[in-house]
């Protein structure tokens, strides 16, 4: 009789852990449906992965006790196999998703994704030149911004004392007004 009560108690605890895995699976499915994950979502995913890792130790302990107390341990072994298959599948999927999005964030080229709007027509600038010391860099005024195919300006025409020259933004230093 005491063993039956113990088995019911352990089964309830195991059910709680299984429901946590189900919640994790639901969360993972929602995250997978997003095209781009924010940094907060990635951190939340990391935290949930860590939680699932700690939950497994508890599950393993409970399941071991159930297998020991059970009159039919084969059923308990099957239960363990099913849980572990789902657990490892979800954990591997979550880690792969995390790695994929972290890699995308690390490899994302942020240099030309948007225009800061710092350079405007009429602004006074200094033009960097590699073979010239900084004190000899020419002054100029932006006469035209040239947008790329995506609408982001990366090049400007600058009027200097030598005439109008075309330069990339990374060689133009705006002067404070």
Q: What is the DSSP string of 13-55?
A: HHHHHHHHHHHHHHHHHHHHT-SS--HHHHHHHHHHHHHHHHH
Check the CA dihedral 94-31-83-48 and report its sign. positive
pLDDT single digits (tens) 71-111? 888 888 999 899 999 999 999 999 999 888 877 766 665 55
pLDDT at 7: 86
pLDDT at 28: 93
Q: Which CATH architecture has domain 2-107?
A: Up-down Bundle (1.20)
Give, for all 177 residues of the chain, the pLDDT tens digit.
688 888 889 889 999 999 999 999 999 999 988 888 888 888 899 999 999 999 999 999 999 988 888 888 888 899 989 999 999 999 999 999 988 887 776 666 555 555 555 688 898 999 998 888 888 899 999 999 998 888 888 899 999 999 999 999 889 988 876
pLDDT at 118: 65
Q: What are phi and psi of 153, to 5 degrees?
A: -80, 130
pLDDT at 111: 57
Closest C-alpha to 114, from 158, 145, 142, 147: 147
Beta strands 139-147 and 124-127 are antiparallel
pLDDT at 165: 94
In sequence order, the 6+-apart residues with CB closer than 8 A to the CB of 91 are 49, 52, 53
In sequence order, the 6+-apart residues with CB closer than 8 A to the CB of 176 are none
pLDDT at 167: 92
Domain residue spans in the chain? 2-107, 124-174
């Amino acid at each position: 009789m005491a063993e039956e009560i113990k088995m019911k108690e352990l089964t309830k605890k195991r059910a709680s852990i299984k429901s946590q895995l189900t919640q994790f699976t639901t969360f993972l499915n929602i995250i997978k449906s997003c095209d781009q994950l924010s940094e907060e979502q990635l951190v939340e995913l990391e935290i949930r992965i860590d939680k699932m890792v700690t939950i497994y130790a508890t599950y393993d302990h409970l399941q071991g006790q159930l297998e020991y107390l059970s009159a039919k341990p084969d059923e308990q072994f099957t239960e363990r196999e099913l849980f572990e298959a789902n657990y490892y599948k979800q954990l591997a999927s979550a880690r792969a998703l995390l790695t994929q999005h972290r890699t995308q964030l690390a490899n994302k080229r942020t240099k030309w994704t948007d225009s800061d709007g710092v350079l405007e027509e009429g602004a006074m600038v200094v033009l960097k030149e590699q073979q010239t010391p900084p004190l000899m860099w020419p002054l100029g005024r932006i006469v035209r911004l040239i947008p790329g195919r995506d609408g982001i300006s990366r090049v400007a025409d600058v009027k200097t004392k030598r005439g109008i020259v075309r330069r990339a933004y990374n060689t133009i230093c705006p002067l404070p007004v």
